[in-house]
Structure 1
């Protein structure tokens, strides 16, 4: 079972964990929560835009790729859009499975692929102004281990 949400609303990690842990046959739940970091540039906030409809389809495809590689039960991907303040949560990936190796690998895979393939654009707001955030080479490097 998949759960994909892309919206402006903050998410409840406890509620998401409860949903992931509701299958008694699963022995492993792995979650990742990403936050807006306050970097050297003194980030105040990020403003995220996305391609509605396409974003959800890409996230579904990423989950299906993970399911083809590992034995998974529940998978949840939540990604916020709009203005998100420094230190607020921006993304949540959660995976449940019978075994920890599947859950750990799938959660990392989903996050690595999401960072490079999901159609999100970020604009950073700092005390000196706003600018678009460029894609990172490190994200492309992380993706290579799955190819």
Structure 2
């Protein structure tokens, strides 16, 4: 069973929204070469996302970034080399400056479940949850599925 966990947008909400706007303008001017370029760039910016594929049967994990909504082949890693799971509060800040030098900041916070190295430091985020309680439940589920212990709950 392969589980696909999306961790979020690569470029943040502002740039992702700008990508969709570029896509719309590109469709309006599709007959021009620049319109075609806008379609490709807009689709790339709007659809780029990060995630993790977990194969519980073979105990392997693969991180990915998916441009255009496609999952490109990557390298699978054995889960056996990792020590356990840890839950860490995660805060991400996206800032955009306007031409008048005003700062528009979007802050997202959630709880991420990380797979740890042999020295117990977080290595890969494998799941994003909006609340701590949900993260604890998901960590317990993943711990049983992957046969790795939960090291720490922040």
The structure, 1 or 2, with the larger RCO (C-alpha pairs under 8 Å, 6+ apart) is 1
Task: Kindly indicate which of the two structures has a greater share of residues assigned to strand.
Answer: 2
- Which has the greater radius of gyration? 2
